[in-house]
Amino acid sequence: MGKLNTGKVIKWVFLILILLSIIVFLAKSDLSALKKELSTVGYRFIYILLSTFVAYLLGTLAWWICLGPAKKQVNLTDLFAIRQIGETVGLFNPTSIIGGDLLKAKILTSYNIPLKDGLNSVAISRITAILSQLSLFLIAMLWLMLSPIKDEVLRYTGTAIYIVCTFLLLMVAFTFYWLVSAKSAPVAILPKATFIGKVKTHFQSMLWSVKDFYQQQNKVFWYSYLLFALHWIIGSLEFYFILKFLGIAAQPIHGLILDMSVIVLKSIGAFIPGQLGVEEIANKLLLNMIGITGGSIWLSASILRRARQLVWIGLGFIFYLCIKRKPIHVIV
């Protein structure tokens, strides 16, 4: 027998896991309940899809400017499709956003963008996305602590909300401190032959690229940060629209609080394909926390959000079939 190609075996295993995860996701999605909720909302479901489309478009722009000179190689329409493909794979890949982001960079090689440049752009945009998201989360929590429902929030969270916010604030502050601190070129170290050694070397290289980008192209970094902030704000309107359609007297700030908080909680279960169950629990807890306690509201909101996910998952597969690319495999 020939020598076993471990890399191909790993890729096929992850491909099978992704497909199985999607099958489980579809099986666990109550299609009859989806149909019922969609019939209740009716044509207004378009507003939910439109808000997420605008949010995804802003996210694509935020990534596009991080490509630097290479952005001339790919148009926004194709980059939007590539982003949705990566996000879809990231949703079901056991490695979460890592696998999805690596796939984005791999597809970019079909546009004559070197893999290293693609990986750097993905890493930079991911950092600006996370920093803007955490900033908005902290602002939302500050508003919550100054609002009339503060006591209700503390009844559910206790001091945990202060601990989490303090930790995230310190993490954001440390990240910015590291970005602005004087750069000393790292000692060139050849990557070790082991898989872990190679991953570590590539990770360190990307971190230094992010820091270099911040210091050399500071304005572009902040443009990406602001575009991602708009991405999160517009995306949070999904929650606001859903609550309004369900007859709840909600405000846009409620949508932002719910969306940012759900994302933070979902990150804990990022390894779970599609975050099955995690998102539903997060929706229920957070709606109760801000005083929205109707018996089936959290379930209706969860079902409508799953319906939106199914639409974009389907579009992600269509994009994958249509996008220009070299023969590629699932990246792990």
DSSP states of 182-222: PP-PPPP-PPPSSHHHHHHHHHHHHHHHHHHHHHHSHHHHH
Query: Cα torsion at 106, 110, 116, 119 (round to 10°)?
Result: -40
> On the CB side of 275, how many CA atoms lie within 13 Å of its CA?
24
Any domain includes 331: no
The overall average pLDDT reported for the chain is 79
Let me know: does 110 contact 324? Beta carbons within 8 Å.
Answer: yes
For 229-238, 241-250, 270-279, 288-297, which range has the lowest pLDDT when averaged over its residues?
270-279
Q: Is residue 198 part of a domain?
A: yes
Element (H or E) spanning 265, and its range? helix 252-268
Structural domain containing residue 267: 7-322
Q: Residue 297: what pLDDT?
A: 76
Question: Is residue 1 in some structural domain?
Answer: no
More confident residue, 298 or 260: 260
332 assigned to some structural domain: no
CA dihedral 244, 248, 252, 255 (to 10 degrees): -90
- The verdict on residue 327 lying in a domain is no
Query: In degrees to the nearest 10, what's the CA dihedral of 102, 105, 109, 115?
Result: -80
Reported as a pLDDT band with limits 50, 70 and 90, residue 241 is: very high
Q: How far apart are CA 169 and CA 149, in angstroms?
A: 22
Helix axes 115-146, 150-157, angle to 10 degrees: 120
Q: Which residue has the higher pLDDT, 258 or 64?
A: 64
Read off the pLDDT of residues 53-108 as tens digits, 9 standing for 90 and up.
999 999 999 999 999 888 899 999 999 999 998 888 877 665 566 777 888 988 99
Tally the domains of the chain: 1
Quick check: is 329 in a domain?
Answer: no
Q: How far is CA 114 from the centre of its chain?
A: 24
Q: How confident is the model at residue 332 (pLDDT cuts 50, 70, 90)?
A: very low
Among residues 15, 19, 27, 99, the alpha carbon closest in space to that of 271 is found at 99
Whether 2 maps to a domain, the answer reads no
Are 73 and 110 contacting, i.e. CB atoms less than 8 angstroms apart?
no
Task: Tell me if 112 is assigned to some domain.
Answer: yes
